[in-house]
Amino acid sequence: MIYNLVKIIDNIIGFKTAQAHCDIPCKIYDPSTAQLAALSCVRLMDLIQEIEGKDDMRVADYSQIARLVSEKESASTEVKEAVSVIWGDYFKEPQFEQVPNMHRLAHNIMVQASKCKQNIDRKEGEALVELVNEFAEAFWFTKGVGVYRVSCPYPPRLDVVYPDLKG
Amino acid sequence: MIYNLVKIIDNIIGFKTAQAHCDIPCKIYDPSTAQLAALSCVRLMDLIQEIEGKDDMRVADYSQIARLVSEKESASTEVKEAVSVIWGDYFKEPQFEQVPNMHRLAHNIMVQASKCKQNIDRKEGEALVELVNEFAEAFWFTKGVGVYRVSCPYPPRLDVVYPDLKG
Amino acid sequence: MIYNLVKIIDNIIGFKTAQAHCDIPCKIYDPSTAQLAALSCVRLMDLIQEIEGKDDMRVADYSQIARLVSEKESASTEVKEAVSVIWGDYFKEPQFEQVPNMHRLAHNIMVQASKCKQNIDRKEGEALVELVNEFAEAFWFTKGVGVYRVSCPYPPRLDVVYPDLKG
Amino acid sequence: MIYNLVKIIDNIIGFKTAQAHCDIPCKIYDPSTAQLAALSCVRLMDLIQEIEGKDDMRVADYSQIARLVSEKESASTEVKEAVSVIWGDYFKEPQFEQVPNMHRLAHNIMVQASKCKQNIDRKEGEALVELVNEFAEAFWFTKGVGVYRVSCPYPPRLDVVYPDLKG
Amino acid sequence: MIYNLVKIIDNIIGFKTAQAHCDIPCKIYDPSTAQLAALSCVRLMDLIQEIEGKDDMRVADYSQIARLVSEKESASTEVKEAVSVIWGDYFKEPQFEQVPNMHRLAHNIMVQASKCKQNIDRKEGEALVELVNEFAEAFWFTKGVGVYRVSCPYPPRLDVVYPDLKG
Amino acid sequence: MIYNLVKIIDNIIGFKTAQAHCDIPCKIYDPSTAQLAALSCVRLMDLIQEIEGKDDMRVADYSQIARLVSEKESASTEVKEAVSVIWGDYFKEPQFEQVPNMHRLAHNIMVQASKCKQNIDRKEGEALVELVNEFAEAFWFTKGVGVYRVSCPYPPRLDVVYPDLKG
């Protein structure tokens, strides 16, 4: 990860992360919205898969699929929107210097979120969670906030990057 | 019904229903939006059930199910939102005194509307209509407006609580 | 009103209002949504006018204007949408025969709702309520349901056309 | 087409198309939004039909149907809304004189867009595209802008009416 | 706090927090959405207050007020919706036993969020953040997850209740 | 412009533009939506500026500002969303090779659209139109479709890049 490298250099030469102007006049940026939405994708894929196992599909099952797919569609869209806002509004030159691969990472999230719309395969969802975690890690790095990884306290209980605020 | 009891006492001791401040500076509250949405849930369940009877399901049928389920989802959400607004914005201390079980009733409607999302069983929809009727009855009671029950003038032609405005 | 004329003839020759096919496979049509929204326009105009009287305007007042204008915008849009749906989905040849001026009436409502967006003058709001009442009258006529007019049970307490369902 | 007739007369007697006041204080009207949405309906019908051919339907297929139907629903709604706005906001007396059948045409588009929601038959979609093309032709006529027809540069590659702006 | 009392008893008698069924078949509940939205209210109030200090207000300033008020309106609505969903979908009998004042707390948040819509006074925003923190504390308690309070890593840098996931 | 260079080379060596897979299974991509929205920003800025000239501002004027600002906000958001969709869904490796500066261009549009939200200065709007024109030019280049520039047929009558479809 290029920003891990930057992070090390950052620690050595005491480079100050630039953030002040980026928060004015804008919203409160937090990647947790995108992370929650990515986790929802995986969760909904799991619920869709449960129906796959059924022998005899009825109208109630098709109805349930329609509901879950619609929710998965919304969750994938929310990932895209939440990442677009942070990439488009918060990331400016100083942040791009700290995270040189950010354009690529943001675009990869768009592509992966589309795959999560087009598929019901859990692996696509897990890949989305991982990309959004990477995005969160980069974001918190530009804010000078450390992170840790731990399983989220609800299904699908995947590893999530959280800011280390407890001190 | 606790508020029927209050209503009787109200008639005896001439207690004045409090409403003035609740309408300022807020919107025009009317439970008819929630009632229409609840009726739509039942109607859509009926249309979904019509497909259940088919021998040979085709893509056109799955498509129709997806449409009807999506509408049912919206109608259930609209019930929740319309009830939340009246419960959250209009109901204050004076109204809670008149309808002591309102928190419970509002919460029951949330739970029942979720059941209508998760199921295609008409009985769940009828239960939602009944709860929302009860809510409308309570609302109009706090406004000092009498009500009557009559079959609505369109399918699913269930009994609906209307304010008695004709005088 | 042309449909009042039709109504009289209808009463004489026992012409049967056609409605059955219009309700399948569609939503439950009810002009009350449009009527509520039109009343909200007037109510919001009244609240905006209250600020007009103030001597010394502060940021809190400009903020309140922005809120009320945004709500008025939404209410006007809701009138347009609710009328468009009934005009576009429910009205077919049999209804147009019963209400020959319906295209004109629907269009007038669009124009008047736009005026309510562009103005804060109560008279424009009252004109919208009146047009939507006329629309409701025409709608219930095509359903073979009688109507009555009475002041609505909340501000702005204007006359509203209600279906006469009590029997 | 009645407005083609008007167009010829217009060319002979040099009648000036009226438009100035209609653009103030409103939005920038352009039928291209409605045309794009109508094309999307046909495209989505094509994608839905591709699944029809499959022997063995699985949950992934039902999921895909649900997605495509939901998009088709949105596209049909967008046609309705885009046409409603131009019909309701831009068309006033001078334009109705130029296009006397506009009420009928706008209503036909509403009806046809509903058919595109209820069906997956490409012919319904093609009929919608044709009606919206006719609407675009009428619109540009009232603006005094010539048009040409050419296949759109993406699937479903149907003929689309474009304004002739190149001069 | 009543649930702090329950918490103590819980620790003594080893009562197991009930959660399993509440997560099926529903969404991933997380109060962080409501907390972020409440913080945004305060932030936007601060930005609105900055304009209050200006001597000479111009159209650009009124425009900025309109933008900030609209965002504040959205943020307040988001608090209401996020809390309504958790209260209405996640909270069932076992959770109400653990947090007996939950109906009251949820309703207080609705009322306070409305105050944040009607006012630009920071104190109303701070009160909302505090209520939503209390809600988050109650939520995590029912999940058996400990919490800590720390200043959020962006303006308005108020204390926020976070789940203690690091272990 | 890097893609103008590529275009020349393209003409010389007969390089075939890659597009087939990008249109499946996705929507019909067309930058005209983004262009219309960018033009609306400028138009709304013009309407806002008209109020600036007034001597005596009244509540009706503040109301009008609030409306216009809200529309400008929506138009700017629509630019962002329409560009995000094409950048995120349609642009893949083959297109990035043809338009190497696309990440930068897409990001610049996000930044400029935010400026159009924060300002009422027409120059910011014109800069947005220009960037979106550049985006449209790049898009049509990847589709192998030529373009021309001409004043749009409605206010603000700025130059717009159109695909050259007439042949």
Touching chains B and C? (3+ Cβ pairs < 8 A): yes
Single-letter residue type at F101:
N
Give residue C13's pLDDT band: very low, low, confident or very high (50, 70, 90): very low
Chain C partners of B146 at a C-beta cutoff of 8 Å? Answer: none
The answer to whether residues D41 and D76 touch, using CB atoms and an 8 Å cutoff, is: yes
Q: Using an 8 Å CB-CB cutoff, list residues of chain B that contact chain A.
A: 48-49, 51-52, 62, 65-66, 69-70, 73, 117-120
Nearest partner of B107 among B144, B134, B125, B71, judged by Cα: B134
Three-state secondary-structure class, residue A149: strand
Q: Using an 8 Å CB-CB cutoff, list residues of chain B that contact chain D.
A: 58-60, 62-64, 66-67, 70
Whether D84 and C111 lie within 8 Å, measured CB to CB? no
b/e for D18-49, b at 16 or more Cβ within 10 A? bbeebeeebbbbbbbbbbbbbbbbbbbbebbe
pTM attached to this predicted model: 0.88
The pLDDT tens digits for F53-70 are 788 899 999 999 999 999
The pLDDT of residue F20 is 30
Whether E110 and B118 lie within 8 Å, measured CB to CB? no
Touching chains A and C? (3+ Cβ pairs < 8 A): no
Q: Identify whether C4 is part of a domain.
A: no
Chain E: partners with 3+ C-beta pairs within 8 Å: A, B, C, F
Give the range among C10-24, D14-28, E135-149 with minimum mean pLDDT: C10-24
Distance between E28 CA and the closest CA of chain A, angstroms: 6
Give residue E2's pLDDT band: very low, low, confident or very high (50, 70, 90): very low
The pLDDT of residue B69 is 95
Chain E partners of F69 at a C-beta cutoff of 8 Å? Answer: 63, 66-67, 70
**Full DSSP string of chain E:** -HHHHHHHHHHHHTPPPP-GGGGSSS----THHHHHHHHHHHHHHHHHHHHHT-SS--HHHHHHHHHHHHHHHHHHHHHHHHHHHIIIII--HHHHHHSTTHHHHHHHHHHHHHHHHH---HHHHHHHHHHHHHHHHHHHHHTT--EEEEE-SSTT--EEEEE----
Q: Identify whether D18 is part of a domain.
A: no
Domain containing D114 — which CATH number? 1.20.120.400
Give residue D86's pLDDT band: very low, low, confident or very high (50, 70, 90): very high
Q: Identify whether D146 is part of a domain.
A: yes
Q: How far apart are CA E112 and CA E105, in angstroms?
A: 10
Q: Is residue A22 predicted with pLDDT exceeding 90? A: no
Touching chains F and B? (3+ Cβ pairs < 8 A): no
Whether C150 and B163 lie within 8 Å, measured CB to CB? no
Residues 6+ apart with CB under 8 A from F114: A26, A88, A89, F76
Whether D92 and C80 lie within 8 Å, measured CB to CB? no
Nearest residue in B to C34, CA atom? B33
How many whole angstroms from its chain centre is CA B61?
A: 30
Give residue C56's pLDDT band: very low, low, confident or very high (50, 70, 90): confident
Chain A partners of E162 at a C-beta cutoff of 8 Å? Answer: 165-166
Residues 6+ apart with CB under 8 A from B128: B38, B41, B42, B76, B79, B109, B112, B113, B115, B116
The answer to whether residues F32 and D152 touch, using CB atoms and an 8 Å cutoff, is: no
Whether F63 and C48 lie within 8 Å, measured CB to CB? yes
Give residue B24's pLDDT band: very low, low, confident or very high (50, 70, 90): very low
Q: How far apart are CA C165 and CA F95, in angstroms?
A: 63
The pLDDT tens digits for B57-110 are 999 999 999 999 999 999 999 999 999 999 999 999 999 999 999 999 999 999
Q: Identify whether B167 is part of a domain.
A: no
Mutate to test the interface with A, among E27, E51, E140 (most CBs of A within 10 A): E27
Domain that holds residue A138: 28-161
Mean pLDDT of D66-94: 95
Q: pLDDT higher for A21 or A55?
A: A55
The pLDDT of residue C157 is 94
The pLDDT of residue A7 is 47
Q: Is residue E50 predicted with pLDDT exceeding 50? A: yes
ipTM confidence: 0.85
Chain F partners of E59 at a C-beta cutoff of 8 Å? Answer: 48-49, 51-52, 65, 120
Give residue F5's pLDDT band: very low, low, confident or very high (50, 70, 90): very low
Chain B partners of C40 at a C-beta cutoff of 8 Å? Answer: 27-28
Mean pLDDT of A10-34: 54
Whether C52 and F58 lie within 8 Å, measured CB to CB? yes
Whether A88 and F103 lie within 8 Å, measured CB to CB? no
Chain A partners of F87 at a C-beta cutoff of 8 Å? Answer: 107, 110
Mutate to test the interface with B, among C23, C24, C30, C39 (most CBs of B within 10 A): C30
Q: Using an 8 Å CB-CB cutoff, list residues of chain E that contact chain F.
A: 58-60, 62-64, 66-67, 70
Q: Using an 8 Å CB-CB cutoff, list residues of chain E that contact chain B.
A: 25-26, 80, 84, 87-89, 91-92, 103-104, 107, 110-111, 114, 118
Nearest residue in C to D101, CA atom? C103
Q: Is residue A130 predicted with pLDDT exceeding 90? A: yes
Q: If DSSP states are collapsed to H, E and C, what string results for chain F?
A: CHHHHHHHHHHHHCCCCCCHHHHCCCCCCCCHHHHHHHHHHHHHHHHHHHHHCCCCCCHHHHHHHHHHHHHHHHHHHHHHHHHHHHHHHHCCHHHHHHCCCHHHHHHHHHHHHHHHHHCCCHHHHHHHHHHHHHHHHHHHHHCCCCEEEEECCCCCCCEEEEECCCC
Q: pLDDT higher for A95 or D26?
A: A95
Q: Is residue E14 predicted with pLDDT exceeding 60? A: no
The pLDDT tens digits for C85-124 are 999 999 999 999 999 999 999 999 999 999 999 999 999 9
Whether B89 and E104 lie within 8 Å, measured CB to CB? no
Q: Using an 8 Å CB-CB cutoff, list residues of chain C that contact chain E.
A: 58-60, 62-64, 66-67, 70
How many whole angstroms from its chain centre is CA B120?
A: 18
The pLDDT tens digits for C63-84 are 999 999 999 999 999 999 999 9
Q: Identify whether E14 is part of a domain.
A: no
Give residue C5's pLDDT band: very low, low, confident or very high (50, 70, 90): very low
Q: How far apart are CA A79 and CA A95, in angstroms?
A: 20
Give residue D54's pLDDT band: very low, low, confident or very high (50, 70, 90): confident
Q: Is residue A125 predicted with pLDDT exceeding 60? A: yes
Chain E partners of B91 at a C-beta cutoff of 8 Å? Answer: 107
Distance between F78 CA and the closest CA of chain C, angstroms: 18
Structural domain total, chain A = 1
